[in-house]
Amino acid sequence: MRVKANVILARCDENKKLYGIRIQEKNGDWIRTWAFPIKEEIARQEGFDKVEINGSFAHTEDFPGCPYCHTKQFFVCGKCRKINCWHGQPTTTCQWCGNTGQTKVAEKLDVRGGGY
């Protein structure tokens, strides 16, 4: 049986560093399974900056979270739809585009992988 998996990109809220999140489809949703530091040039070469995914993004029990700040939570920017680390704060600033806004919980998300 073939596993459907992909990598989406995120930025750490604490240091703006880029990292990849491996996601795997399971029962029509996406599960975060692994995270790793990555350079922009490598992410671009692999096409990770073009990935767009819709769904929920639960994580496995052994998902390590952000390789820099270790949080397992994230927010998706309402403007650029890119992923950032989240530490529970009610107002967030996107490390990709600088948009600031109130954070709210969502069941399903549309995310974009990169596009520097």
Residue-wise pLDDT tens digits, 15-64? 999 999 999 999 888 999 999 999 999 999 999 989 888 888 899 999 99
Indicate the average pLDDT of the chain.
90
Query: What's the confidence (pLDDT) of residue 39?
Result: 97
Q: Which amino acid is at 90?
A: P
Average pLDDT over residues 78-84: 92
Structure token pair of residue 79: 């403007």
Q: How confident is the model at residue 116 (pLDDT cuts 50, 70, 90)?
A: very low
Query: What's the confidence (pLDDT) of residue 55?
Result: 83
Domain limits, the chain? 5-112
Flag whether pLDDT at 89 surpasses 70. yes
What is the rounded CA–CA span in Å between residue 12 and residue 49?
16
Average pLDDT over residues 2-23: 94
Express the helix, strand and coil content of the chain in percent, nearest 5 each: 10, 40, 50
